[in-house]
Amino acid sequence: MNLKALYQRFRAWQLEPYQFKSESEKKHQCFNCGKEFEGNYCPICGQYFNEGPVNWKPEEEVHKPLWGLLEPGSVLSFVIQVLLRPGYMISDYLKGRKQVTGSPIGALCYVAAGVLVILSLLGKDGSDRIPSQDGELGGMGICLEWMMSHMDWAILIQTVLLILPVWLLFRFAPKHPRHTIKEGFYIQAFMASVVLVCIALRALISNWLILLVLISYYVVFRQLFGYGIWGTLWRTVLSFGIVSYVFAVIMMTAWVRSGKYSAIISPQADIALAAGLIVAGVGVVLLGYWIGKKTERRE
């Protein structure tokens, strides 16, 4: 098989990872609840049609590849999809194909537990310690030091803060246009799992793999929303820029409250600076929203 054909098969799997075909058109009586039904699974309790009394026949488990580990909705299937088709997987969930993807919250719990086990076995806690700033920058220095020494936690917090910018900047996407805040929450719940997988790879291989977080966001947004290369890139960069701006405002606030900043700048200047930051942030968001609306038909 040549590389082109192999790639085409991979692309076909990305778009449609599971083919749900009826293995039997005959009527069956469910051994679990007694319901008579046609097809693969009981419509009442969901038991497979070939599941019956315990016996020595090996074909009882043939329909479960690797004893169910790769079945739709399993944890291993979820991790494989996170690595190879994350955006399409999220799209499947938003379209209602929840048997393919499983629950994002449940999967996040399993992935988080697995990452914690990996980090514990490696003797790591997912952070990068840096020398103390000795309070030179007051509250701002404390915030900056915490973010640098707990980069992974900072990334997960950033995942939550991305809900609103993504909702605004990708609101007019070719795929999933005008998605809701609730859908945005589930998108970021999936992305939290993606981030945790990147954190695990970083701990296993190299710290440089933390860059996979940024790359994965671009890949996910491209697959999920259907924009082109530049349409996806500038929206992704702007979304992260907005979140970074929020972090900067938080650090600035902490610096002001520490008293060191106010010692050199008047309270009136503090208020003017805060107002300027707020206006600039709102302006950038609205500009991105306007560009997205104006380019809706062209991308």
Residue 225 has pLDDT above 90, yes or no: yes
Confidence at residue 144, expressed as pLDDT on a 0 to 100 scale = 58
* pTM for the model: 0.73
Residue type, 237: V
Confidence at residue 218, expressed as pLDDT on a 0 to 100 scale = 93
Contacts of 118 (CB under 8 A, 6+ apart): 200, 203, 204
Quote the strand ranges of the chain, DSSP E. 27-29, 36-38
Euclidean distance between CA atoms 79 and 252, whole angstroms: 38
pLDDT 10s digits, 3-61: 888 888 888 888 888 877 666 667 888 888 888 888 888 888 878 777 776 555 544 44
